[in-house]
A and B are shown apart, each in its own frame.
Chain A
Amino acid sequence: DIQLTQSPSFLSASVGDRVTITCRASQGIGTYLAWYQQKPGKAPNLLIYAASTLQHGVPSRFSGGGSGTEFTLTISSLQPEDFATYYCQQLNRYPFTFGGGTKVEI
């Protein structure tokens, strides 16, 4: 199975901060990577697919980058509604796997 390692696991930040989360794959996955945001008690919400393509309706302060084994999710200016947990997922090969998550807190 392809393992995804997210860092950091927890991130303390303030409104207006620029935040970057990293996702590392145990083997190359091209750009078959997605990022999701999850708030407590809610289903995950797709932010980015194909490593860098912004899902319709997602604010432009979110951006994704990378290819191969290292990927990033960047929030250019953190807003109050962005405090949540973020997950990466690889869709290069079955079984699809998720990273362990990054909780963004105040």
Chain B
Amino acid sequence: QVQLQQWGAGLLKPSETLSLTCAFSGGPFSDYFWNWVRQPPGKGLEWIGEIDPRRGTSYNPSLGSRVTMSLDTSKSHFSLELSSVTAADTAVYYCAARYYDILIVHSLDVWGQGTTVTVSS
């Protein structure tokens, strides 16, 4: 059974860098696209970005140049960094994965448990 387990700092001060990591288990790491999604308190879902191991990264332009996603294939981990955080970045952050299939565009069918990140001075 494939699953994601995520961790990272939950309390940040303004201007600091958010750093989260997600560990994948239960399947071939190379068979998936790797995503991050966030949800501000009481609000809807916002897509942050995706890593395609075959083609690279795609980020939400709304986050500008503050976001960086990376893979560590040796550990089956992927990570998110968001620099210069403000209170507007306070949210639950989820890692998620979708299966790579050349015939079908799959959706996010594996999710981490979520990490609550609060930005406050």
A interface vs B, CB < 8 Å? 1, 32, 34, 36, 38, 43-46, 49-50, 53, 55, 87, 89, 91, 94-101
Contact = CB atoms under 8 A, between A and B. Distances in A.
A49 B106 contact: yes
6 contacts: A38-B45, A43-B113, A44-B94, A46-B107, A49-B107, A50-B105
A95 B108 contact: no
B44 A43 contact: no
Contact of A89 (B47, B60, B114): B47
Interface in B41-94: 44-47, 49-50, 58-62, 94
A94 B105 CA distance: 13
- SS class of chain A's interface: helix, strand, loop or mixed? loop
Interface in B4-63: 35, 37, 44-47, 49-50, 58-62
Contact of A94 (B50, B96, B106, B107): B50
Contacts of B62: 95
B110 to A, nearest CB: 9
B59 A95 contact: yes
Given A43-B94, A43-B113, A43-B114, A98 B46 contact: yes
Interface residues of B, number: 26
B105 A95 contact: no
A90 B31 CA distance: 21
Contacts of B46: 98
Contact of B61 (A1, A36, A43, A89): A1
Contacts of A36: 45, 108
Contacts of B94: 43-44
Most A CB within 10 A of own CB, among B50, B58, B60, B108: B108
Contacts of B102: none
Contacts of B61: 1, 95
Contacts of A44: 37, 45, 94, 108, 111
Interface in B89-121: 94, 96, 98, 104-109, 111-114
